[in-house]
Amino acid sequence: MRIDVKKTYKLFIGGQFPRSESGRSYELFDSKGNFLANPALASRKDLRDAVVAARNISDKWSSATAFNRSQILYRVAEVMEGRKDQFIAEIIAQEGVTKAQALKQVNEAIDLWVWYAGWCDKIASVYGGTNPVSGSFYNFTTPENLGVVASFISDQSSLTSIVHAVAPILAGGNTLVAVAHEDYPLSAITLSEVIATSDVPGGVVNILTGKAKEIAPWVGSHMDIDGVDGSGLDSTTYDALRKDGADNLKRINRFDEVKSPQRILAYMEHKTVWHPIGI
Amino acid sequence: MMKFEYAPAPESTAIVDIQSDYNLFIDGKFVPSKGGKRFATMNPANEQVLAKVTQGTAADVDRAVKAATNAYKKTWSKLPGADRGKYLFRIARILQERAREFAVLESMDNGKPIRETRDTDIPLAAAHFFYHAGWADKLEHAGLGANPKAHGVVGQIIPWNFPLLMLAWKIAPALATGNTVVLKPAETTPLTALLFAEVCQQAELPNGVVNIVTGDGATGSALVNHPGIQKIAFTGSTEVGKLIARSVVGTKKALTLELGGKGANIVFEDAPIDETVEGIINGIYFNQGHVCCAGSRLLVQENIKDELIEKLKRRMSMIRVGDPLDKNTDLGAINSKAQLTKIQELAQSGDTEGAERWSPECKLPEKGFWFPPTFFTGVSQSHRIAREEIFGPVLSVITFRTPSEAIEKANNTPYGLSAGIWTDKGSRILWSAQQLKAGVIWANTFNKFDPASPFGGYKESGWGREGGRHGLAAYLKGDM
């Protein structure tokens, strides 16, 4: 019998796959209690490195044309499709569901990703517009990216929840640091491998594995994070993060897992521009 | 050269009828406070007491919230949108009819020139009610899903710089979207809000839909922390905004914030210079600089700095400072002693940190609170006057060499409310507008406001927008 080559699950920061700088990892078991992997246990320093990577690429990602971002995100879905078997195997391992259920989830996740990819070049025309002000002025409002967003992935499912936590934030032109749910790191890291082999510039998506509770306070007090999706946090941790986040007035939200353009808009800012009209 | 002086042209105060004492406006009636003392509100231009108003207590706030809750449940939420709209149209019309009375009263209580209250504050306040009246029966088209819902009772806290206009920005969208309101006006400028209460009575607005509780920060805090309100809208300082953001944690209260700013007004070398000078004046000396979106940092391209400063000095020498009720006055009184002290202290820091101060010669009245139009040159990015919001008629002049440097400097602030761009080149306007991290950008103009135009800030300048379709989102719960 051939001896398997086991996979090492590492972090995804700045387009690379480092171990945690802390050297820490944790043991992950499947639904039957068998050892699965030693995912990295991300530290404060890992978070800070990820934020630096996300900030550095923010202008490039947000100033790419919306059509270009849309194509790049669509490409992610294409690569996901090719990795279906791996996603299915990891969902079964992490959740203990049947193969049919895992397949259903992967299909849903890919379709959801495609749905958000298509929003990139529609959001501004649907939710921006011209404003008929009184006076000789041309006045228009357009939604723009917020900046760097941290996203705590919920435990509703091992793959679809990741798409809910990542795709709308990217569609709005933001870069992000996503924190995988402690129980479901495998799907998150596999998705980061998909992203790394798509055309998404390094640093646009960063994925940390570990304990959300440990990372959340460092996210709350980080002055270079502009927004937080706290869907994956318990209420106590979420509330503490909201308090810390008031220091730089981070945009902090939590969502039910619904497919909505409002999830994109939650991490966008409306900019209004005036100019006189005259001869 | 012969010099023509202006003769005094004071607006008569006969049109206003100020009472000596004011109660609180709760459930459609003026009622005495439960245990609250009175405090004086004065005319900052002459330090004369105008009236005594009530320091609303926690018990008063509680009464007001109960009245608003009752009104929400029994009447306001049951009215069709079209009927809510009709009440708002009525209010807009009454404000227009009583515009001069409001303008004079606002000028007296705030210290701002009658020219501004008459031409800007009051007409815009009426326009806000008119605009939002038309939304009341079209909310399903506001982009928030087929059936957006009101929050219920909204607690609103407004500042002293545009008292009635800020009231309109708050109350008009709240009522149009079906919410009821408890509003606290600023401590130093409560009178037009109390006159507005009379307008609500004249419009026969159902009792309890609008409640006005006067008082200071303690009253505001009681309102913010009251468990019976579902949403808070605050306009004021970033410091207090952050306190409120922390205080709603652990509750389900929705929150929107319009906070401070340190707007960059960027002048490129090809700017139409005379128009630009007017824009700079309007950007920082409008309303004594008591404007959160003021263009308080002038970023000027180095090679035109000297020419621009010369023209600016000449134009500033023509600013008429004095009696706010005089129709020829450009710059009125600073709203309060406390604010004057703050402006003086920050200007002092400009001197000690090495910037160079300039003001035109101008005689300031002896009584009242006054500060001359002022700018500082030789300002560096690290100076307090380049970083902190002064909220007064003080401009900090900073130079730049390249467009990228201008953007870099403009964005180098925790605020993100407004910015100005002056250039003849269209592509440069749009490029700059894209790069600037600010919610409102005026290109070849400044300090323009309209109910149809969303207003609000990036970063630490706030959460959400006011005005336009986008502003409705603050008062509605969508499908999500």
CA distance, residue A145 to nearest chain B CA (Å)? 10
Interface contact A274-B453, CB threshold 8 A: yes
ipTM above 0.90, yes or no: yes
Interface contact B439-A269, CB threshold 8 A: yes
Res B36: pLDDT: 86
Interface contact A256-B480, CB threshold 8 A: yes
Q: Using a CB-CB distance cutoff of 8 angstroms, which residues of chain A are in contact with residue B443?
A: 273-275
Res B478: pLDDT: 85
Interface contact A273-B480, CB threshold 8 A: no
Query: CB contact, 8 Å: A262 with chain B?
Result: yes
Res A1: pLDDT: 87
β-partners of residue B40 are B52
CA distance, residue B462 to nearest chain A CA (Å)? 7
Q: For chain B, what is the radius of gyration of the CA atoms?
A: 22
Task: Choose, out of A142, A242, A274, the residue to mutate when testing the contact with B (most B CBs < 10 Å).
Answer: A274
Query: CB contact, 8 Å: A250 with chain B?
Result: no
Interface contact B452-A139, CB threshold 8 A: yes
Query: CB contact, 8 Å: B479 with chain A?
Result: yes
Total structural domains within chain A: 1
Token pair in block for residue A106: 């992967």
User: CA-CA distance, B275 to B260, in Å (whole number)?
Assistant: 26
Q: What is the CATH number of the domain that holds A115?
A: 3.40.605.10
Q: Is the pLDDT of residue B229 over 80?
A: yes
B420 and B386 Cβ atoms separated by less than 8 Å: no
Residue B389 known to be catalytic: no
**CA distances in angstroms from B222 to A183, B61, B179, B462, listed in the order given:** 43, 7, 20, 21
Q: Which segments of B203-237 does DSSP mark as H helices, in order?
A: 217-224
- Say yes or no: domain B24-259+459-477 is CATH 3.40.605.10: yes
CB count in 10 Å sphere of residue B218: 13
Q: Using a CB-CB distance cutoff of 8 angstroms, which residues of chain A are in contact with residue B468?
A: 131, 141, 272
Whole-prediction pTM = 0.96
- Asked, for residue A33, whether it belongs to a domain, the answer is yes
Q: What is the mean pLDDT of chain B?
A: 97
Q: Report strand pairing: B476-477 vs B149-150.
A: antiparallel
Q: Is the pLDDT of residue B238 over 70?
A: yes
Mean per-residue pLDDT for B108-125?
98
Res B391: pLDDT: 98
Res B100: pLDDT: 98
- Asked, for residue A18, whether it belongs to a domain, the answer is no
- Asked, for residue A176, whether it belongs to a domain, the answer is yes
Each residue's pLDDT tens digit, B304-358: 999 999 999 999 999 999 999 999 999 999 999 999 999 999 999 999 999 999 9
Q: Using a CB-CB distance cutoff of 8 angstroms, which residues of chain A are in contact with residue B259?
A: 249
Q: Is the pLDDT of residue B2 over 70?
A: no
Burial class (CB in 10 A: 0-12, 13-18, 19+), B382: exposed
Residues A147, A152, A154, A157, CA torsion sign: positive
User: CA-CA distance, B255 to B246, in Å (whole number)?
Assistant: 11
For chain B, domain boundaries: 24-259+459-477, 264-443
Chain B residues 231-290 with CB within 8 Å of chain A: 238, 241-242, 245-246, 249-250, 257, 259
Q: Is the pLDDT of residue B151 over 80?
A: yes
Query: CB contact, 8 Å: A60 with chain B?
Result: no
Interface contact B454-A226, CB threshold 8 A: no
- Asked, for residue A177, whether it belongs to a domain, the answer is yes
A54 and A177 Cβ atoms separated by less than 8 Å: yes
Banded model confidence at residue B479, pLDDT cuts 50, 70, 90? confident
Task: Choose, out of B238, B249, B429, the residue to mutate when testing the contact with A (most A CBs < 10 Å).
Answer: B249
Measuring CA to CA, which residue among A226, A261, A263 is closest to residue A147? A226
Q: Is the pLDDT of residue B1 over 70?
A: no
Question: Chain A residue with minimal CA distance to B450?
Answer: A133
Measuring CA to CA, which residue among B265, B434, B411 is closest to residue A145? B434
- Asked, for residue A23, whether it belongs to a domain, the answer is no
Res B459: pLDDT: 98
Mean per-residue pLDDT for B111-138?
98
Residues B120, B122, B128, B133, CA torsion sign: negative
Res A221: pLDDT: 98
A120 and A245 Cβ atoms separated by less than 8 Å: no
Max distance between CA atoms of chain B, in angstroms, equals 71
- Asked, for residue A101, whether it belongs to a domain, the answer is yes
CA distance, residue A77 to nearest chain B CA (Å)? 25
Mean per-residue pLDDT for B44-60?
98
Residue B292 known to be catalytic: yes
Half-sphere exposure of B316 (CA within 13 A, CB side): 23
Regions of chain A short of the pLDDT cut 50:
none
**Total CB pairs under 8 A between chain A and B:** 101
B223 and B201 Cβ atoms separated by less than 8 Å: no
Please tell me whether residue B383 adopts helix, strand or coil conformation.
coil
B396 and B383 Cβ atoms separated by less than 8 Å: yes
The domain containing residue A242 runs over which residues?
28-276
Q: Is the pLDDT of residue B480 over 70?
A: no
- Asked, for residue A17, whether it belongs to a domain, the answer is no
Each residue's pLDDT tens digit, B94-105: 999 999 999 999
- Asked, for residue A11, whether it belongs to a domain, the answer is no
Burial class (CB in 10 A: 0-12, 13-18, 19+), B243: middle
Measuring CA to CA, which residue among A90, A61, A85, A59 is closest to residue A73? A61
- Say yes or no: domain B264-443 is CATH 3.40.309.10: yes
